[in-house]
């Protein structure tokens, strides 16, 4: 029995420490994802060892190893629980003309339940709907929204990376770009609030590291780094949202937050796990929204299923430039900047390639 426990504890320790390796291969980077699941496993295994094994120096080492794994994983996921302090203040004195609501939804290309998403949009009335994995069929179904959401960006693709934006608010200086890979689009625009204020927005869906797509995370990481550095160079209000194919607590997403100086409204409020909609035991936050310090949060919610493998994410923000500087994210250090340089150099990309919608 002790040999079995030793094997399980050793395996758990390896899986826990594997993400520390900077190797970008999918088999390494995928272990950024199940931190909550591994934390639960560490707790259960430690309790089992405490119950079943006699107290010896060796069994103490095994139990201590499980405790270490539990605490290490908790260190990463704790900010996305309600025990943590909010990174983004809750909005008060709400001015409707300065509010911006967004539904971000990976629709899953083969999913044919478009009516469920259309119903959600008509019910929640977001200012912007951004869809990922939407092909021509999805575009045909979603065009029913155009009478109410006439400002659009459309890039229907049948490779699981199509993207569409429908907006009630004017979109200016729009551009569809292929920042790193020729078949992976991103969308960039200036959205004009009802107050007349202009907000820079970026919609992203980089490819994940996986055995069926990119063997390494290099392409995804490069897109996140170049967008992060681009928005950090300009102090205008900005929002970045989409399916980043990365979890909120990974080293890469944390690097994105450091480089961009953008804030995460989920911190202190919850994980808002949007994937996998059909497998409750394997869920993590893949659909994200980040914003500059110019905003406070009115509401954030994971919406009901639309038949996709992702739940839609609804976010409503309030533009509060008068509080500029009251909120702070996390800053990069030299190691972070060197790591980001290596990522950009490997893919031969730069923040200069990112479209920069400007306020007028």
- 38 contacts 73 by C-beta, under 8 angstroms: yes
Residue 360 has pLDDT above 60, yes or no: no
8-state DSSP, 328: -
Select from 194, 204, 122, 222 the least CA-distant residue to 165. Answer: 204
Query: Would you state the pLDDT for residue 24?
Result: 84
Instruction: Look at phi and psi of residue 181 and say left if phi exceeds 0, alpha if psi is from -120 to 50, else beta.
Output: beta
Class of domain 96-353: alpha beta
Q: At what angle do helices 57-77 and 2-17 cross, to 10 degrees?
A: 30
The C-alpha atoms of residue 134 and residue 111 are separated, in whole angstroms, by: 10
Domain residue limits, the chain: 2-80, 96-353
The C-alpha atoms of residue 161 and residue 184 are separated, in whole angstroms, by: 6
Q: What is the pLDDT of residues 160-179, one digit of tens each?
A: 999 999 999 999 999 999 99
Residue 324 has pLDDT above 70, yes or no: no
The C-alpha atoms of residue 78 and residue 102 are separated, in whole angstroms, by: 26
> What's the pLDDT band for 2 if we cut at 50, 70, 90?
confident
The C-alpha atoms of residue 167 and residue 49 are separated, in whole angstroms, by: 55
Residue 207 has pLDDT above 90, yes or no: yes
The C-alpha atoms of residue 182 and residue 161 are separated, in whole angstroms, by: 11
Query: Would you state the pLDDT for residue 234?
Result: 76
- 248 contacts 300 by C-beta, under 8 angstroms: no
> What's the pLDDT band for 325 if we cut at 50, 70, 90?
low
Mean pLDDT for the stretch of residues 328-348: 91
The C-alpha atoms of residue 243 and residue 275 are separated, in whole angstroms, by: 10
Select from 163, 234, 245 the least CA-distant residue to 203. Answer: 163
Residue 1 has pLDDT above 60, yes or no: yes
Q: What is the pLDDT of residues 40-82, one digit of tens each?
A: 999 999 999 999 999 999 999 999 999 999 999 999 999 999 9
Residue 216 has pLDDT above 90, yes or no: no
8-state DSSP, 32: G
- 145 contacts 103 by C-beta, under 8 angstroms: no
Helix (H) or strand (E) holding 138: helix 136-142
Select from 160, 185, 181 the least CA-distant residue to 107. Answer: 160
The two tokens of residue 344 are 């950009």
Query: Distance of alpha carbon 62 from its chain centroid, rounded?
Result: 35
Question: Which positions ≥6 away from 71 have C-beta within 8 Å?
Answer: none
């Amino acid at each position: 029995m002790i040999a079995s426990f030793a094997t399980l504890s050793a395996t758990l320790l390896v899986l826990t420490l594997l993400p520390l390796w900077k190797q970008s291969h999918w088999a390494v980077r995928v272990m950024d994802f199940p931190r909550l699941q591994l934390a639960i496993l560490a707790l259960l295994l430690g309790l089992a060892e405490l119950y079943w094994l006699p107290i010896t120096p060796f069994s103490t080492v095994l139990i201590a190893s499980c405790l270490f794994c539990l605490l290490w994983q908790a260190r990463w996921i704790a900010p996305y629980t309600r025990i943590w302090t909010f990174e983004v203040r809750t909005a008060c004195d709400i001015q409707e003309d300065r509010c911006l609501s967004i539904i971000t939804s990976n629709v899953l290309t083969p999913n044919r339940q478009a009516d469920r998403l259309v119903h959600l949009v008509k019910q929640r009335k977001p200012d912007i709907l951004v869809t990922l994995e939407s092909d021509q069929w999805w575009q045909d179904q979603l065009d029913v929204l155009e009478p109410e959401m006439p400002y659009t960006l459309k890039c229907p693709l049948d490779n699981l990376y199509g993207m569409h934006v429908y907006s009630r608010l004017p979109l200016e200086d729009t551009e569809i770009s292929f920042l790193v890979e020729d078949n992976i689009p991103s969308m960039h625009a200036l959205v004009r609030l009802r107050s007349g204020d202009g907000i820079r927005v970026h919609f992203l869906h980089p490819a994940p590291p996986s055995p069926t797509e990119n063997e390494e995370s290099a392409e995804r990481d490069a897109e996140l780094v170049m967008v992060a550095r681009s928005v950090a160079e300009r102090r205008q209000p900005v929002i970045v949202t989409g399916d980043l194919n990365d979890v909120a607590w990974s080293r890469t997403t944390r690097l994105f937050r450091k480089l961009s100086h953008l804030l995460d409204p989920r911190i202190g409020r919850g994980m808002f796990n949007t994937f996998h909609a059909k497998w409750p035991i394997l869920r993590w936050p893949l659909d994200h929204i980040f914003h500059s310090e110019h905003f406070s949060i009115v509401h954030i919610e994971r919406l009901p299923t639309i038949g996709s493998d992702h739940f839609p994410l609804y976010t409503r923000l309030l533009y509060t430039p008068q509080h500029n500087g009251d909120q702070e994210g996390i800053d990069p250090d030299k190691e972070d900047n060197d790591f980001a340089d290596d990522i950009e150099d490997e893919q031969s990309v730069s923040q200069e390639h990112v479209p920069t919608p400007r306020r007028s």
